[in-house]
Every structure is written in structure tokens, then in C-alpha cells.
Amino acid sequence: MPYRITRGGVRSPEAYRWWDQDGGPTGPDPAPILEAAAAGDVDALGPLLFNDLEPPVFARRPDIAVGAAASRDRSRPHHSAATV
């Protein structure tokens, strides 16, 4: 699958302004992230990570959302360690 070229990035001040305009919502409870990090459990940690700026940016720049989704799809393993 080819990469989709977007019309440019989003500057940090703009992303934070959009986040503020949307009420500054934050991601899920950080406790599981902190527990996985403290335990050194990278397999559990990865799926728990969250970027608070993604929702406001993706809402205003769907081209970036499409590119991010495609990138995530390509980075997912096609099998779990348990099935190897």
C-alpha cells in the first residue's frame, strides 16, 4: 500500500490551540500505562499509549488521520508471539 502524501503538517501551537478549543480532553486513565512501564512490559505498554493531540488534529485534518491509520496498520505484527 503506498503512503498517502498530506498537504503539510500541523505546527505544535496550532495543535494545542485546537486541543484547548475542544476543551483539552485527555486520554484514558494513565495508571495502566504507568504500571506497564514500571514493570518493563513493553508488549502491554505499546497499545496503551495515547496522544491527546490526535483527536483535535484528526478532526480538522482527516488526511493526517488516514495517514496515521495506514501507518499503524503496517506496523502491527501479523501474528502474536504466542503463535510463533
Question: For 19-76, what is each residue's pLDDT tens digit?
Answer: 999 998 788 899 999 999 999 999 999 889 888 999 999 999 999 888 776 766 655 5
Question: Running DSSP on this structure, what letter comes out for residue 30?
Answer: S
CB 56 within 8 A of CB 19: yes
- Model pTM score: 0.64
Alpha-carbon distances of 84 from 43, 46, 80, rounded to whole Å: 15, 20, 7
Grid coordinates belonging to 21 = 478549543
User: What is d(CA 73, CA 84) in angstroms, rounded to the nearest whole number?
Assistant: 20
